[in-house]
Amino acid sequence: MAKIYGPIYKLSLGQRQCVIISSPHLAKEVVRDYDVTFANRNPNIAALAFSFGGKDIAFSPYGPEWRMLRRIFVQEMQSKANLDAFYGLRKKEIKKSVKDVYAKKGNPIDVGEMAFSTVINMITSMFWGGTIQGDSNCK
């Protein structure tokens, strides 16, 4: 979609409006320069369950705790060495999702669920070496 709409665009996923940033340069600018603007989000019930009631960096309200979590995240999780180390795992999960989409050609796909499942599988793969049980990546 970035080839059609450019490096930043709006996407409606159900009732949610999402801003998609596909350029690493723009993503860096957003998290560095406009972090306060994008810090507060309204999590859905699944996000609250997964993030211990919204107590992680993705759903914590902006404040001292969020700034501390962000600093740790940038220093530890987004270091070049860590990102390089997990490149193969991320690539594998993306390829699996693309393959699942092609397998469902002509059938409806829940893009939100597929994206969520792909990200969760990447995270669990990086942290625990495996993906969630029974994942299908799309319905």
- Stated pTM of the model: 0.45
Exposure of 58 in the CB half-sphere (CA atoms within 13 A):
11
Does residue 99 have a pLDDT over 90? yes
pLDDT tens per residue, range 24-80: 888 878 777 777 776 666 777 777 776 777 777 777 777 888 888 888 877 877 778
Decide if 51 contacts 58 (C-beta within 8 A): yes
